[in-house]
Homo-oligomer: A and B are copies of this chain.
Amino acid sequence: MSQGALSNLAQYSALLRRVGALGLARYLVLAVGLVAMTVFTVPELQGITRAWLMACLWCCFVFFAVDSVVHFRGPVAAGTAWRHAFSPSGLVDLLGLFPVPIALLSGAEPETAWLFASLWVLKLAQNSPGFAQLGRVFVLEARPLASVLVLFLIVLFLASAAMHVIEREGQPVAFGSLPAALWWAVVTLTTTGYGDEVPQTALGRLLGSVVMICGIATFGLWTGILATGFAAESRRRNFIETWDLVSKVPFFQTLDPTSITEITHMLRRVEIPERVAVIRRGRVGDCMYFIAAGEVEVDVEPSPARLGVGAFFGELALLGDSVRTANVATTKPSTLLILDLADFRKLMAHHSELARVIDAEGKRRLGENLRRRETGARGDAVAS
């Protein structure tokens, strides 16, 4: 596994720690609640199991009620309770809180009332930045996507009208009315193909074949549009996220704006929790790191050295023979900027001043390392 992948794993474990005990508990309660709600609808369920499940559901409900109260405390104190209630996050809280008791109070059976607990699944989308990104793709490409949907509707209506005419004699139940034929057309055009309604005549099968191929063509276009939109949005998002961090690294501040823009496009941001290994000695290195926030420790002999904000490490493997020469681990939650080998080469080539600084620092560290091993003296030179 490359250093990049390693850092990504570290990033997830960091996310986990940041989510923390409460966050984990939320996801756990959510999973338990959804499973309990699902099992609760099984009609064979009797007596004690049913009682336990209902207890479980009420516990989850109380947990989410407390959770929602915590979410609302801030806005209520700030006098913006109503605004929060109509924000996406507030709506999700309210939808998880009120429908179940309202249904129970209005006399619905518990099996039906607790179905509203399925709205809890919306809590997965709370505070998720990824949704905004996906949403933007749909908004940016709205015009071509709408055209594809119109195409879909046209094929749908014309095909089902034709199929209704062709098959209504032979299959009066399946194709005897246009709503039934429309159902066939949707099932076929999306290539779902239940098989509950299947054309039997030669002409009907010919039309069915055309509809299937239209379905494939339509949704190939749909996927192509989304792929194009996502690629554009992805580039844009990455730039905005990285820009702020780059401007905080002193090392880059000597660069002119053109170069900063260029390097921002090259860097990838990772967040790593404390005490996570970023680099392992002996692995092949294909990237170097800049510290945008936090601190790392390099275990050089005889005693480890620490690097703070603005420092860089991992460059020796890119300058030399590509094998990492030391372990590097974070001592605090850190934000690192990763520069891949390909982009490192490009940067070195275009910015001689940066190349000189990195090269000089690399050589100094290498010399320092050699000297240390000989003298065992403590220093702040590091290598990886």
Contact = CB atoms under 8 A, between A and B. Distances in A.
Interface of A: 1-2, 4-5, 8-9, 12, 34, 37-43, 112, 115-116, 118-119, 121-122, 124-125, 128-137, 139-140, 142-144, 146-148, 150-154, 156-158, 160-161, 164-165, 172, 176-179, 182-183, 186-188, 190-196, 198, 202, 205, 208-209, 212-213, 215-217, 219-231, 234-236, 239-240, 243, 256-261, 264-265, 286, 340-342, 345-346, 348-350, 355
A34 B157 contact: yes
Given A161-B115, A191-B190, A194-B194, A236 B340 contact: yes
Given A153-B124, A183-B205, A212-B186, A230 B240 contact: no
B2 A239 contact: no
Contacts of A239: 341-342, 345
B134 A144 contact: yes
A193 to B, nearest CB: 4
Given A179-B42, A193-B194, A151 B134 contact: yes
Contact of A230 (B139, B228, B259, B350): B228
A147 B118 contact: no
A83 to B, nearest CB: 12
A132 B1 contact: yes
B256 A142 contact: no
The 6 closest A-B pairs by CB, nearest first: A130-B147, A224-B227, A192-B193, A194-B195, A257-B349, A239-B342
Contact of A122 (B154, B192, B264): B154
Nearest to A228: B231
Contacts of A154: 121-122, 124-125
Contacts of A132: 1-2, 5
Given A118-B161, A130-B144, A187-B208, 20 more contacts: A4-B136, A5-B139, A8-B142, A38-B179, A38-B182, A39-B179, A42-B178, A115-B178, A121-B154, A133-B144, A134-B221, A219-B220, A219-B223, A220-B222, A224-B227, A227-B227, A240-B342, A243-B345, A258-B350, A264-B345
A125 B188 CA distance: 22
A134 B157 contact: no
A2 B237 CA distance: 11
A232 B135 CA distance: 22
Contact of A147 (B131, B183, B217, B222): B131
Contact of A209 (B135, B186, B225): B186
Interface centre among A34, A131, A193, A224, by most B CB within 10 Å? A224
Contacts of A158: 118-119, 121
